[in-house]
Structure 1
């Protein structure tokens, strides 16, 4: 009997030891994980996503920004994920010269931000460029992961490499890590290639939120549109004319309360001006009419809000349509841009200003074929995102074969 009990004990003892070891090992791993999570949870990677923001009444307001390829928005509050700026960046992106007008500067800034974000670089933006952008947008860089350098002396330090681009997407700028000779990089020209910032489009849209200076002139415009389309007064809710958000104004047009009939708002930018002489191009009324009819067939109850640098031309050629509204003559470029971004879809003739109006509005985009011009040497896939379409191209080719 004693021998039996002894043999039984010897058979049980190893199993007991193994079980105890597994229990202790699991406890240690769990403890280490909890300690790591508590110490480093703020630096764990998070997924930044576009949002539907909310007004002061906590109602969902569709954003007036970025295009989504599948047209699906994730409903969650956007809080920029600010990484620790104590980490010393290993590179510098510089923009201090800019040609053209607002659309060109938006491209240059967005591309610079995208590269700085991709490579965790510091970003130097010439003060005058930042001031110009902030005449229309908030550009709150303090709430983004990119560190803005304000010392002008940084551009005088040795080793700065500059390269010109009109709309070229340089592959070497997108490789991680950057080559040593590109770690202090000055962007010269326009950099009109959306690939530099597409990955961070939600952050770009956050930076390009309209300020009150651009929003305020649009309050009476929206009031006029509400009266003309639905014959209703404007209800600003908890807002005033001085603090109403762009998103709230957009919601008044795109989501009228029941039982009002829904309307599809199409923004249209007609660029003429210097394009007639400098690029020798002029968008035809046939194209504008085709694009409008395309949307009329695609959506129910369309209304067109048109901005242009030649509003007399628009009024003469398109003003007779009962579904057309033209922004006031008193509007400046920032006011017109904010007005076009109130819409759901866009028609563009040419130029970066219209490109950005379409980007900020979101939705579908129809663009004319005559821009960019051949002399710009643009690869179309670099300049046009996939949601910019050219349905009239097929129509024109069909006509030419007849």
Structure 2
């Protein structure tokens, strides 16, 4: 078309080449401008597809944090958002915008201690995360959890609803669970009858949240209060184990992180010989009467010997609701330490999470100590009890181990692997 116009325009002006050349230059300039405009449109479309969907503008710097394969089995990847270190799962949040929530998960009642509330909250989070639901957690539950943990829900895809009237509307379907994994809660799409769902009871089944393991661990980061209370304990352990002082580096006792305290114990500077820290939680108290179970010292010694064979230079850190029992039965060993009597439940949990592996007797508190510490977990077979009607495959993750002899006479135990 351009050539046709050019020939028609230039032919009658063939005796005046200046006009012809002027027309040709204008045509070339127009063509160049159109080409440049097309390039700008293409770049804008590419930018929109790659970045605009997230509607987030953080400064992201990827970092690889390697750990020894002997002491840790995985590589952890993290990135920095506005100079704040955040686990890699949050990068997935920036990958696409969250759709408006079309359902609601409700938790407002729970019995027992902090371990029970952690289970209920984690299961509710996992359910809400899977189906892109809003989460209503009773303010007292959130407050109780935040007395120990950070619970940074604003940095996750799940939106926390705080308006009580939302949870009090009609059409809420409530169902009780001790530790049952309901298959219909995991089906996609969610049954329309379950889009306003209240979790009643305990929901102690890891299947509700195992898919979001990193996010759960991020929510259950220890706050400054629980971390600060463990500084003197770490100082004592460093002194007794290696005869070295506490070095907080650029931190102070008021702002040191739990992760940094753990690194002081698990990665001592050369030429110090590393040790393997194993946390032990001994649950007694109301379990002696309510569940009529008691962990034997034989089980505890068997579990400790398992770790002594598996790792060199083991050290054991015990937390218990009956520390006199722990001191009487296990306190005379040079490789065993017991948390102070002044520690409350959050302090003890933070102390157990400083370790690399765990020994658990019974209860959800010890279960979560093992989860937060990472590594292997050796668990007694006396819990859950029969009247709880809990399937072991629902309650225990696959990395939990069970000794051959147990404190109880429950169904055939699983043997510890020969390692």
Please say if residues 377 and 400 of structure 2, whose CA atoms lie closer than 8 Å, have aligned partners that are also in contact.
yes
SS at match of 1:232: coil
Deviation at 1:158, TM superposition (A): 1.4
Question: Which aligned pairs between 1:22-37 and structure 2 lie closer than 5 A?
Answer: 35-37=44-46
Give the match for residue 16 of structure 2.
none
Which of 70, 73, 76 aligns to 1:74? It is 76
CA contact (8 A) 1:266 1:345 kept: yes
Distance 2:405 2:40 in 1: 64
Structure 2 equivalent of residue 260 of structure 1: 272
CA contact (8 A) 2:380 2:406 kept: no
Gaps of at least 5 residues in structure 1 are 1-28, 46-52, 63-69
In 2, the alpha carbon distance for the partners of 1:352 and 1:394 equals 18
User: Equivalent residues in 2 for 1:272-291 (5 A)?
Assistant: 272-291=284-303
Q: Which of 217, 227, 234 matches 1:222?
A: 234
CA contact (8 A) 2:227 2:350 kept: yes
**2:385 pairs with one of 373, 385, 390:** 373
| Structure with the greater alpha carbon radius of gyration | 2
User: Partner of 1:88 in structure 2?
Assistant: 100
Quick one: distance in 2 between partners of 1:252 and 1:393?
A: 35
Cα deviation for residue 75 of structure 1 reads: 3.4
Aligned to 1:75, the other structure's residue is in SS state strand
Aligned residues: 353
CA displacement 1:221-240 (0-9 Å, x = unmatched): 00000000000001000000
Is residue 2:172 matched to residue 1:160?
yes
Partner Cα separation in structure 2 for residue 293 and residue 92 of structure 1: 47
Name the SS of the counterpart of 1:392 in structure 2: coil
- How far apart in 1 are the matches of 2:401 and 2:178? 22
Aligned residue among 334, 345, 365 for 1:353: 365
Which structure would you say has the larger RCO, counting Cα contacts within 8 Å and 6 or more residues apart? 1
Correspondent of 2:258 among 216, 234, 246: 246
Once the two structures are TM-superposed, the CA of residue 87 in structure 1 deviates from its matched residue by 3.4
Which residue does 1:39 correspond to in 2? 48
Take 2:303 and 2:257, find their aligned partners in 1: how far apart are those partners?
30
1:106 to 102, 115, 118: 118
Structure 2 distance, partners of 1:61, 1:315, is 38
Contact map agreement 1:290 1:392 (CA 8 A) in 2: no
Q: Deviations over 1:61-118 (max 9, x none)?
A: 97xxxxxxx9312333325244677732111100011111100000000000001100
Structure 1 residues 36 and 199 mapped into 2: Cα distance closer, same or farther (>3 Å)? farther
Q: Deviation at 1:347?
A: 0.1
Tell me how far 1:217 sits from its aligned partner.
Answer: 1.0
For structure 2, the residue ranges without an aligned partner over 5 or more in a row are 1-37, 55-61, 80-86, 414-419
For the 8 Å contact 1:125–1:148, the answer to whether it is kept is yes
Map of 1:137 onto structure 2: 149
Which of 192, 196, 204 pairs up with 2:216?
204
Q: 1:324 aligns with which of 331, 336, 348?
A: 336
Counterpart-to-counterpart distance in 2, 1:360 and 1:337? 9
The structure-2 alpha-carbon separation of the partners of 1:373 and 1:202, relative to structure 1 and needing over 3 Å to count, comes to: same
Q: Distance in 2 between matches of 1:112 and 1:225?
A: 37
Query: Is the counterpart of residue 333 in structure 1 residue 345 in structure 2?
Result: yes
Asked if 2 retains the 8 angstrom alpha-carbon contact of 1:85 and 1:145, the reply is no
Q: What corresponds to 1:390 in structure 2? A: 402
In structure 2, the CA distance between the partners of 1:86 and 1:200, relative to structure 1 (3 Å rule), is closer
- In the alignment, the residues of structure 2 paired with residue 91 and residue 336 of structure 1 have an alpha-carbon distance, to the nearest angstrom, of 37
User: Is the partner of 2:294 in helix, strand or coil?
Assistant: coil
The CA RMSD over aligned residues, in Å, is 2.6
Q: Distance in 2 between matches of 1:341 and 1:32?
A: 53
Q: Secondary structure at the match of 1:391?
A: coil
SS of 1:378's partner is coil
